[in-house]
Amino acid sequence: MTIENLSSNKSFGGWHKQYSHQSESLGCTMRFAIYLPPQVANGQKVPVLYWLSGLTCTDENFMQKAGAHRVAAELGIAIVAPDTSPRGEDVANDDGYDLGQGAGFYVNATESPWNRHYRMYDYVLKELPSLVESVFPVSDQRSVAGHSMGGHGALVLALRNPAQFRSVSAFSPISNPVNCPWGQKAFSAYLGDDKATWEAYDASLLMRDAQEQVPALVDQGEADNFLEEQLKPEALEAAAAASEYPLELRRHEGYDHSYYFIASFIEEHLRFHAGYLTVEA
């Protein structure tokens, strides 16, 4: 598979790079960013944390604002950040910020016109890791994390594929999308009116019924404007209690939905994942 390097920046002894490639699962050109820690220069294969961003974001938000490179360099963890949706002139879109380009919701759309391109679930689960592991000096050890819509995506991917991820974490995830306006709008468009099909992409429902477990860390700011209407962490807590799931959900007074919140606690998340990932000699 051909990929094109768009930019390279040295950071904390490693490299932050952006690439584009033609995606088979999405049917368009996609961009992603990767941070390669300095350990790869010594011939080591390093594990990968996949970071999924939220509504309106691209691959750039996390890499530029989260301040994750320093700790990733210390721990020897690569970070891969895909875009949040397919993009292009022939890709379906919507006037709202919470549907269409920039708002893929990490599902495989089944409804027209979205089903032509919007298969972010397959892209993040299969195509992108296969590409990354074939091109870069990384191992097949993976963890996944994300913010808001991306936190929803990270939890769903880990809960549905526990054998493929060592750990999962999220900041301010959309925890119960079948019961919030963001999720209901997106799922109606992408998946149709049969709400039974929505349940496969709801972290709280998946966690309640989970038979296998992936260690999970979730941070939620108590001053988040979206907390009550959209995020519903209490549903995730109830699900974890019902299934005895290894979830640590922490609430933080005064923190909002922004990258100031993510930057404040990203080191703890990286160290959490490092406990389940191993750098190969």
- Residue at 196: amino acid letter: A
Of 23, 25, 85, 148, which one is the catalytic site residue? 148
Of 16, 117, 257, 273, which one is the catalytic site residue? 257
β partners of residue 29: 22
Distance CA 26, CA 3 (A): 15
257 has catalytic annotation? yes
264 has catalytic annotation? no
Could you give phi then psi for residue 192, rounded to 5 degrees? 95, -175
Q: Could you give the strand order of the β-sheet that contains 216-221, starting from the edge strand earlier in sequence?
A: 3-11, 14-23, 28-36, 78-82, 46-52, 138-147, 168-171, 216-221, 247-252
The answer to whether 171 and 148 are in contact (CB under 8 A) is yes
Distance CA 61, CA 178 (A): 27
Q: Which tokens sit at 123?
A: 């892209």
Q: Which tokens sit at 188?
A: 């109606």
139 has catalytic annotation? no
- Kindly list the catalytic residues: 148, 224, 257
